[in-house]
């Protein structure tokens, strides 16, 4: 008893000495530390500003009058404030509501399907008593090392799976992602195997164990992967460009892309609103559309950021 | 063989439910990843739409010969590799710098707020990034020309200057991935035992020495892994980035065309699909070989750093 006390006392002394040294270091910052902090604060501040400025330009341009933009270009501070562009968008909101609908639909279905597939598969390949877990893991992992590439995939999807102009073409390609599978596997591996074994002894079937015991414990993992999936679907425009023809099936991002590229899309909005194209506030309209398409992400961003940080951190550690 | 089959049926009986659970994903991967690979035979065929992939005639290496003799093959390979190297170096360097500086900053609020904003570009689609590029560089209303004119200069048409696009692309790539990559490095740095730093502090190490001799060696495994992952993708261009930043701008193809954008363009124009498939095949195969070689070499040097 006594030696331990003695030891911890000595240790305590050491600790306090250590922290004294450190705190005295902090009080008297050396010249090199001062320089370092000056550099680090200003560097981070500059990078932050660079990350923010484009967003500010986007928002303030969407509120600037067309006349001003035409003569003076886009700028950081909104000048000649107007809400013309937004009024135009929400005057005949049918195009944008439809695009929102498509985006919400594919995001919802894709995320639910993806979560089910990824969590179930991750559970099976982390079951140590499943003999073929490594074989299956490799079978999945191999697709990240080698794949057919854009041409084969495109031709196969269109000629053999008949996905042209189908909303499934927006959902299915992104549903099962091996990177998410690996992240989910490390979430599953934190669940003690004793839990599964005792449930088995109590006579629970495999599906029951998975849905009633494992899934409730996977909440953090499901939230993380679900958000990754949802972000991917929400931001997708590539699959729409490849597979979707009819503009009633355009998701939000692809509609926005078309608006930026083509005057046709603009002309459609003009005719719906009953004005001539020349009177259209083209420049601010583009920016306003971008704001409307990104809005939901920026709104939920502060609440979901931590899940992404978690997912990325886990993903970067080899499983 | 018989023994193997027996153990398989035994496993199937014992864990039939687990098989049922993994089958959907397995079927999914077969349909959406493995079966499309069969289309790679196109690279060796003279593709005719009416004959289909498997009905078209074989033509050996003709597609590959044409791809490289026309010069396109070399150009897009060169561009892809150069862009990836440039992007790899700049984006990782920026992320490492940001991570080191952010972890050294004492103010919690400053740290949190700046980190959130730096992470933000990761969350927006490349379409929005394309909008930014347009808002900054377009000739009539772009912010750049706005500023140049403000100083009394003449407006420049950036879209007719191929030389500057590598820098623009590289800057936006680093910008978009900075937050994401720095999250990884920040996690690595905070994983370093704080006693090491305290000991260094007692020994009178300056802040620069601490970073040079503790932080950087400690995050070296992370840096190596990140580099390896990127080197494995050295022949894959980030299609979404190139397409949204540059678009279908013929004037810039010489300096901005990568394998992926070339393949996509020929796919849409339906021009010589065999040659396109050849480019695609060449990319996939070479990528696979590079990953295998890099991984094998790394495994020999230090198996802790290997990817698999």
Burial class (CB in 10 A: 0-12, 13-18, 19+), A99: buried
Tens-digit pLDDT profile for residues A287-296: 898 999 898 8
The whole-chain average pLDDT of chain A stands at 84
Q: Is the confidence at residue B14, as pLDDT, over 90?
A: no
Domain tally for chain B? 2
Q: Could you give phi then psi for residue A205, rounded to 5 degrees?
A: -75, 165
Last residue of a domain, one of B58, B82, B105: B58
Cβ atoms of B42 and B62 closer than 8 Å: no
Partner residue opposite A32 with nearest CB, options B134, B208, B263: B208
Residue B301: its pLDDT value, please?
Answer: 82
pLDDT: which is higher, B160 or A1: B160
Structural domain including B32 reads 2-58
- Three-state secondary structure string covering chain A: CHHHHHHHHHHHHHHHHHHHHHHHHHHCCCHHHHHHHHHHHHHHHHHHHHHHHHHHHHHHHHCECHHHHHHHCCCCCCCCECCHHHHHHHHCCHHHHHHHHHHHHHHHHHHHHHHHHHHHHHHHHCCCCCCCHHHHHHHHHHHHHCCCHHHHHHHHHHHHCCCCCCCHHHHHHHCCCHHHHHHHHHHHCCCCHHHHHHHHHCCCCHHHHHHHHHHHHCHHHHHHHHHHHHHHHHCCCHHHHHHCCCHHHCCHHHHHHHHHHCHHHHHHHHHHHCCCHHHCCHHHHHHHHHHHHHHHHHHHHHHHHHHHHHHHHHHHCCC
Residue A187: pLDDT band with limits 50, 70, 90: very high
User: Residues B29, B176: one domain?
Assistant: no
Cβ atoms of B47 and B273 closer than 8 Å: yes
Tens-digit pLDDT profile for residues A94-128: 888 999 999 999 999 999 999 999 999 999 999 98
Shortest CA distance to A285 belongs to which of A254, A263, A318? A263
Tens-digit pLDDT profile for residues B115-127: 999 999 999 999 9
User: Residues B180, B228: one domain?
Assistant: yes
Residues 6+ apart with CB under 8 A from B131: A58, A256, A260, A286, A287, A290
Residue A277: its pLDDT value, please?
Answer: 66
Residue A78: pLDDT band with limits 50, 70, 90: confident
Q: Mean per-residue pLDDT for A195-219?
A: 92
Question: DSSP label at B234?
Answer: T
Q: Is the confidence at residue B51, as pLDDT, over 80?
A: no
Give the whole-number percent of chain A exceeding pLDDT 90.
Answer: 46
Q: Mean per-residue pLDDT for A28-56?
A: 89
Domain presence at residue B121: yes
Residue A201: its pLDDT value, please?
Answer: 92
Residue A268: its pLDDT value, please?
Answer: 66
Partner residue opposite A210 with nearest CB, options B21, B119, B180: B21
Residue A285: its pLDDT value, please?
Answer: 85
Domain presence at residue B242: yes
CATH number at residue B262: 1.10.3720.10
Task: With both helix axes pointing from N to C terminus, report the angle between A178-188 and A219-234 in degrees, rounded to the nearest 10.
Answer: 170
Q: Is the confidence at residue B215, as pLDDT, over 80?
A: yes
**Minimum CA–CA partner of B186 in chain A:** A313
Q: For the ranges A53-57, A246-250, B49-53, B152-156, which has the lowest average pLDDT?
A: B49-53
User: Residues B192, B280: one domain?
Assistant: yes
Domain presence at residue B168: yes
User: Residues B36, B75: one domain?
Assistant: no
Residue A150: its pLDDT value, please?
Answer: 85
User: Residues B46, B80: one domain?
Assistant: no
Residue B99: its pLDDT value, please?
Answer: 95
pLDDT: which is higher, A31 or B24: B24
Q: How near does any CA of chain B get to the CA of A274, in Å?
A: 26
Domain presence at residue B65: no
Contacts of A16 in chain B (CB under 8 A): none
Residue A260: pLDDT band with limits 50, 70, 90: confident
User: Residues B22, B164: one domain?
Assistant: no
Residue A317: its pLDDT value, please?
Answer: 66
Q: Is the confidence at residue A12, as pLDDT, over 50?
A: no
Q: Which of residues 144-203 of B touch A (CB under 8 A)?
A: 145-146, 149, 175, 178-180, 183-184, 187-188, 198, 201-202
CA A75 to chain centroid: 28
Q: Is the confidence at residue B187, as pLDDT, over 60?
A: yes
- Residue B121 forms contact with A (CB below 8 Å): yes
User: Residues B145, B85: one domain?
Assistant: yes
Q: Mean per-residue pLDDT for A257-270?
A: 72
Residue A82: its pLDDT value, please?
Answer: 86
Last residue of a domain, one of B58, B79, B104: B58
Q: For the ranges A237-246, A275-284, B185-194, B254-263, which has the lowest average pLDDT?
A: A275-284
DSSP strand pairing (B45-46 vs B57-58): antiparallel
Residue A3: pLDDT band with limits 50, 70, 90: very low
Q: Mean per-residue pLDDT for A120-144?
A: 91
The whole-chain average pLDDT of chain B stands at 88
Q: Is the confidence at residue A4, as pLDDT, over 70?
A: no
Q: How near does any CA of chain B get to the CA of A209, in Å?
A: 11
All domains in chain A, ordered by first residue: 2-83 (no CATH), 93-261 (1.10.3720.10)
Residue A6: its pLDDT value, please?
Answer: 36
Contacts of A207 in chain B (CB under 8 A): 17, 20-21
Q: Is the confidence at residue A8, as pLDDT, over 70?
A: no
Residue B295: its pLDDT value, please?
Answer: 86
User: Residues B43, B170: one domain?
Assistant: no
Q: Mean per-residue pLDDT for B3-16?
A: 86
d(CA B144, CA B146): 5
Contacts of A117 in chain B (CB under 8 A): 24-25, 28
SS3 B45: strand
* Cα separations in angstroms, A286 against A129, B132, B198, B225: 56, 11, 54, 40
Q: How near does any CA of chain B get to the CA of A260, in Å?
A: 7
Shortest CA distance to A102 belongs to which of A227, A262, A255? A255
d(CA B298, CA B304): 9
d(CA A9, CA A15): 10
User: Residues B236, B285: one domain?
Assistant: yes
pLDDT: which is higher, B51 or A233: A233
Chain A to chain B Cβ contacts (< 8 Å): 278
* Cα separations in angstroms, B110 against A215, B84, B103, B113, B191: 37, 33, 11, 5, 21
Residue A5: its pLDDT value, please?
Answer: 35
Q: How near does any CA of chain A get to the CA of B52, in Å?
A: 9
Q: Which of residues 71-100 of B touch A (CB under 8 A)?
A: 94, 97-98, 100
Q: Is the confidence at residue A20, as pLDDT, over 60?
A: no
- In the structure encoding, which two tokens stand for residue A48, read together? 């932050």
Residue A11: pLDDT band with limits 50, 70, 90: very low
Residue B94: pLDDT band with limits 50, 70, 90: very high
Domain presence at residue B63: no
User: Residues B43, B140: one domain?
Assistant: no
User: Residues B11, B133: one domain?
Assistant: no
Domain presence at residue B64: no
Residue A264: its pLDDT value, please?
Answer: 58
Residue A10: its pLDDT value, please?
Answer: 39
User: Residues B215, B88: one domain?
Assistant: yes
Give the whole-number percent of chain B exceeding pLDDT 70.
Answer: 99
d(CA A184, CA A190): 10
């Amino acid at each position: 008893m006594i030696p331990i006390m003695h030891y911890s006392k000595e240790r305590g002394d050491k600790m306090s000495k250590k922290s004294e040294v450190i705190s005295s270091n902090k009080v008297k910052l050396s010249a090199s530390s001062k320089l370092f902090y000056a550099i680090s604060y200003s560097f981070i501040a500059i990078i932050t500003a660079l990350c923010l400025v484009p967003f500010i330009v986007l928002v303030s341009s969407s509120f600037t009058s067309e006349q001003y933009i035409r003569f003076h270009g886009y700028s950081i501070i909104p000048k000649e404030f107007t809400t013309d562009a937004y009024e135009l968008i929400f005057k005949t909101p049918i195009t944008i509501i439809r695009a929102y609908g498509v985006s919400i639909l594919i995001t919802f279905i894709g995320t639910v399907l993806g979560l089910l597939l990824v969590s179930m598969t991750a559970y099976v390949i982390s079951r140590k008593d499943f003999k073929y877990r490594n074989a299956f893991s490799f079978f999945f992992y191999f697709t990240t090392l080698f794949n057919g590439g854009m041409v084969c995939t495109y031709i196969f999807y269109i000629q053999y799976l008949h996905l042209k102009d189908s909303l499934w073409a927006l959902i299915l390609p992104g549903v099962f992602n091996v990177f998410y599978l690996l992240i989910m596997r490390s979430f599953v591996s934190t669940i003690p195997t004793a839990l599964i074994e005792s449930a088995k002894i109590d006579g629970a079937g495999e599906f029951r164990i998975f849905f009633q015991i494992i899934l409730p414990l996977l909440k953090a993992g499901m939230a993380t992967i679900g958000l990754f999936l949802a972000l991917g679907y929400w931001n997708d425009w590539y699959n729409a460009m490849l597979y979707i023809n009819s503009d009633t099936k355009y998701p939000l991002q692809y509609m926005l892309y078309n608006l930026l590229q083509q005057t046709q899309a603009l002309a459609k909005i003009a005719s719906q609103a009953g004005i001539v194209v020349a009177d259209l506030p083209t420049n601010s309209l583009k920016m306003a559309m971008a704001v409307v398409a990104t809005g939901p992400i920026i709104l939920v961003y502060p609440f979901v950021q931590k899940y992404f940080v978690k997912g990325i951190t886990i993903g970067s550690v080899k499983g | 063989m018989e023994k193997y089959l027996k153990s398989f049926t035994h496993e199937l009986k014992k864990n039939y439910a687990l098989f049922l659970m993994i089958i959907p994903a397995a079927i999914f991967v077969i349909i959406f990843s493995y079966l499309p690979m069969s289309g790679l035979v196109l690279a060796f065929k003279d593709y005719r739409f009416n004959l289909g992939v498997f009905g078209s005639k074989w033509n050996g290496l003709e597609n590959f010969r044409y791809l490289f003799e026309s010069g396109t093959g070399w150009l897009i390979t060169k561009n892809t590799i150069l862009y990836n190297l440039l992007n790899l170096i700049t984006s990782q360097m920026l992320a490492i710098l940001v991570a080191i500086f952010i972890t050294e900053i004492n103010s919690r609020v400053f740290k949190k707020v700046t980190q959130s904003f730096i992470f933000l570009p990761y969350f927006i689609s490349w379409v929005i990034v394309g909008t930014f590029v347009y808002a900054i560089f377009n000739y009539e209303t772009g912010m750049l020309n706005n500023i140049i004119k403000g100083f009394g200069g003449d407006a420049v048409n950036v879209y007719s200057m191929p030389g500057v696009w590598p820098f623009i692309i590289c800057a936006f790539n680093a910008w978009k991935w900075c937050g994401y990559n720095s999250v990884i490095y920040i996690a690595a740095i905070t994983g370093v035992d704080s006693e090491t730093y305290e000991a260094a502090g007692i020994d009178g190490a300056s802040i620069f020495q601490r970073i040079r001799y503790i932080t950087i060696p400690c995050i070296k495994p992370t840096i190596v892994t990140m580099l390896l992952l990127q080197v494995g993708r050295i022949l894959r261009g980030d299609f979404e980035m190139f397409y949204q930043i540059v678009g279908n701008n013929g004037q810039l193809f010489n300096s901005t065309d990568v394998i992926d954008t070339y393949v996509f363009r020929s796919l849409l124009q339906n021009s010589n699909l065999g040659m396109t498939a050849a480019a695609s095949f060449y990319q996939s195969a070479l990528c696979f070989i590079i990953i295998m070689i890099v991984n094998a070499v790394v495994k020999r040097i230090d198996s802790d750093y290997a990817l698999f």
